[in-house]
Amino acid sequence: MSRASDRAYAAIRNMILSGELPPGVQLGEEALAEKCGVSRTPVRDALRRLENEMLVARTDTQRSFVAEWSLDDVRDAFDLRAMLEGYAARLAAGRMTADSLAQLRSANAQIAQAIARQQPDVGAFLEGNRLFHAAILEVAGSRRLVAQLAALVEQPVVWRTAHHYGPAALHRSWSEHEELIAAFARRDGAWAEAIMSSHIMRAYHAYADAHRALSAGPGAANDAADAAIAVEAAE
């Protein structure tokens, strides 16, 4: 694969994941080529790679669009993440070192700082969350797991989940990380796997609740957010 193709791939992928290119938008090769500073051939190669990653969909007429995910598609992605990351947590628990634990604590401290602000810093939360989960995969030491999870963890629906979190949900995510660290410190693989699986599925339900509320309209979205905060406070 040429450098131009790699550059186009990275640029278009980032635009999709960041939401700059939203679901359903048509991807014109000429416009993308101009934006990426390459010719149309590298863009065509990049779109094929992104189609394989399910980030781009192609019609029968060979037009490309940013893929739209149904709630069932999202559920499938999170179910797979729960299974794979749960297994990764089990593996990591048996291989955890003092340095690895320190790395996890540092990443979660970054998350704590991000959510302690009056207006939570979602970008910093996402970066700390990425570092935390990446550190677990590194300790698990399975290249196959890393390869399988890469396509799931970086799907745009996963990236956007944190933007549906209220302060209580952000704090709960940090708290579940703390419990994972406790399980890792005790090298308890079964405990770590159970926490990780429930952690991932809680993220799915946060996304699903927001998705349904937004589909019902702004008033319903506000009611859903208030209800979610009330439930969190009661737990």
Closest residue by Cα to residue 157 from 44, 75, 34: 75
For residue 95, pLDDT beyond 70: yes
| Cα gap 66→213, rounded to integer Å | 23
Model pTM? 0.74
Higher-confidence residue of 156 and 101: namely 101
- Confidence at residue 200, expressed as pLDDT on a 0 to 100 scale: 93
- Confidence at residue 159, expressed as pLDDT on a 0 to 100 scale: 58
pLDDT band at 231 (very low <50, low <70, confident <90, very high): very low
For residue 59, pLDDT beyond 80: yes
Task: Provide the CATH topology of domain 3-66.
Answer: Arc Repressor Mutant, subunit A (1.10.10)
| Whole-number average pLDDT of the chain | 85
Higher-confidence residue of 30 and 226: namely 30
Mean pLDDT, residues 154-171 = 69
Give the other-Cβ count within 10 Å of 203's Cβ: 22
For residue 9, pLDDT beyond 60: yes
Contacts of 101 (CB under 8 A, 6+ apart): 181, 184, 185
Q: What is the DSSP letter of 56?
A: E
For residue 192, pLDDT beyond 80: yes
Closest residue by Cα to residue 136 from 79, 88, 203: 88
- Confidence at residue 154, expressed as pLDDT on a 0 to 100 scale: 61
Residue 201, amino acid: M
Question: What is the chain's length?
Answer: 235
Structure confidence by residue, pLDDT tens digits, 118-154? 889 988 998 999 899 999 999 999 988 888 887 676 6
User: What's domain 71-234's superfamily in CATH?
Assistant: GntR ligand-binding domain-like (1.20.120.530)
| Cα gap 49→43, rounded to integer Å | 10
Chain centre to alpha carbon of residue 33: 27
| Cα gap 206→17, rounded to integer Å | 19
User: What residue spans define the domains of the chain?
Assistant: 3-66, 71-234
Residue 178, amino acid: E
Mean pLDDT, residues 111-116 = 95
| Cα gap 211→26, rounded to integer Å | 22
Mean pLDDT, residues 209-232 = 53
